[in-house]
């Protein structure tokens, strides 16, 4: 029985889980291309360091946008590079691959994801929905006849789903997540402080002083960028209260989608969710106070996954075992 590999093909990061070994790769979903001859110069962490710092003939591209393949060829090259880097082919000839997609991907988008995984060297490719895989990875038993609810806030998409007996009962997927929050922070700093900052800096502000709930004590952070008016480098101070207000609209849009999923949920499963709570996974779970904000607005207990960034990748490992058991 060939080992399988599970791939969390995220907008921000690609994680790969090899059966029996666990998560063996976690790198940014970025590819650096030389525009003159179209050659790939770097993939993953090396390419990520180039974002916003390259000369005109080199472009650092994120081939996935909002959880969906925006550039098929580059996604295929990126996957092939990562799979070759693992050196699993020697051991496995062609591995079975389980890969994840947001719940609102169209059948054409799903086909593109499967084809990219096949081209990268997969034998049988299985596609599963992200919130289902994240729920399994966060330790929920979704195969029983009981309601489990998960909110997976990634880089490109936020996936919300109620699961029972191993399947998605109701779900919503929003193209609003970590990347959008970074944009919110960058736009706020530009409007309030006349300072242009890059994606890296915006993400750093969100991680260090970002909060979903009004912070009890205001923390400050010095931020450097380019002055909109003079065009010269400038440093300003940004506070956690400012960041909270910048993130407000995106977070409330995710809450509105969660309410809509709860409204469509059958009453028996709703009763289970009140007992068991809602699980938050993905990078968004790391935002300070997000559990309090969601619990206050949804009137249901909210839990944070223990390893939110790894939930989908861990889930692929468990589901591959489930597929293997079924075949026996």
| Tens digit of each residue's pLDDT (9 = 90 or more) over 37-54 | 888 899 999 998 887 777
Q: Is 129 found in the same domain as 175?
A: no
- The predicted structure's pLDDT at residue 1: 41
**CATH number of the domain where residue 215 is located:** 3.30.420.40
Q: Could you tell me which residues are beta bridge partners of residue 9?
A: 14
Pairing of strands 4-9, 220-227: unpaired
Report if residue 47 sits inside a domain. no
Same domain for 299 and 170?
yes
Residue 89 belongs to what domain range?
Answer: 4-27+65-133+311-327
What does pTM read for this prediction?
A: 0.90
| Residue 200, pLDDT score | 86
Q: Tell me how far apart the alpha carbons of residues 13 and 25 are, in angstroms, rounded to a whole number.
A: 10
Residue 34 lies in a domain: no
Query: Which positions ≥6 away from 145 have C-beta within 8 Å?
Result: 164, 165
- Mean of pLDDT over the chain: 90
pLDDT of residue 328: 65
> Do 111 and 260 fall within a single domain?
no
Q: What is the pLDDT of residues 281-290, one digit of tens each?
A: 999 999 999 9
Distance CA 46, CA 111 (A): 29
Q: Which residues of 258-297 are buried (b: 16+ CB within 10 A; e: fewer)?
A: beebbeebeeebeebbeebbbbbbbbbbbbbbbbebbeeb
Q: What's the number of domains the chain is made of?
A: 2
End-to-end CA distance of the chain: give it in Å, rounded: 10
Kindly state whether residues 156 and 15 are assigned to the same domain: no
Using alpha carbons, select from 93, 68, 87 the residue that is nearest to residue 21: 87
Question: Strand 195-196 to strand 167-174: parallel, antiparallel, or no bridges (unpaired)?
Answer: unpaired
- Quick count: other Cβ atoms within 10 Å of Cβ 87? 10
Q: What distances in angstroms separate CA 95 from CA 3, 123, 311, one per listed residue? A: 6, 6, 21
Structure letter (DSSP) for residue 124: S
Q: What is the pLDDT of residues 182-241, one digit of tens each?
A: 999 999 999 999 999 998 899 999 999 999 988 888 999 999 999 999 999 999 999 999
């Amino acid at each position: 029985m060939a080992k399988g590999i599970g791939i969390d093909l995220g907008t921000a990061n690609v994680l790969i889980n090899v059966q029996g070994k666990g998560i063996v790769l976690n790198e940014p979903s970025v590819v650096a291309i030389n525009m003159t001859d179209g050659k790939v110069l770097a993939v993953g962490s090396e390419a990520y360091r180039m974002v916003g710092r390259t000369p005109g003939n080199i472009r650092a591209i994120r081939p996935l946008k909002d959880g969906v393949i925006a550039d098929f060829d580059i996604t295929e090259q990126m996957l092939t590079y990562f799979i070759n880097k693992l050196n699993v082919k020697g051991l496995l000839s062609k591995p079975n691959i389980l890969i994840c997609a947001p719940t609102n991907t169209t059948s054409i988008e799903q086909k593109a994801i499967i084809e990219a995984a096949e081209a990268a060297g997969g034998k049988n490719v299985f596609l599963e929905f992200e919130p289902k895989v994240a729920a399994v990875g966060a330790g929920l038993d979704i195969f029983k006849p009981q309601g489990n609810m998960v909110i997976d806030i990634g880089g490109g998409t936020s996936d919300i789903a109620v699961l029972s007996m191993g399947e998605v009962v109701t779900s919503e997927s929003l193209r609003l997540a970590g990347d959008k929050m970074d944009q919110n922070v960058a736009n706020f700093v530009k409007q309030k402080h006349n300072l242009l900052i890059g994606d890296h800096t915006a993400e750093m502000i969100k991680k260090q002083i970002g909060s979903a709930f009004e912070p009890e004590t205001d923390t400050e952070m010095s931020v450097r960028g380019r002055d909109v008016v003079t065009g010269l480098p400038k440093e300003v101070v940004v506070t956690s209260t400012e960041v909270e207000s910048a993130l407000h609209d995106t977070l409330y849009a995710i809450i509105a989608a969660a309410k809509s999923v709860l409204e469509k949920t059958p009453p028996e499963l709703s009763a289970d969710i009140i007992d068991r709570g809602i699980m938050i996974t993905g990078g968004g779970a790391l935002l300070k106070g997000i559990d309090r904000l969601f619990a206050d607005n949804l009137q249901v207990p909210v839990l944070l996954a223990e390893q939110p960034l790894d939930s989908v990748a861990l889930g692929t490992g468990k589901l591959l075992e489930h597929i293997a058991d079924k075949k026996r």
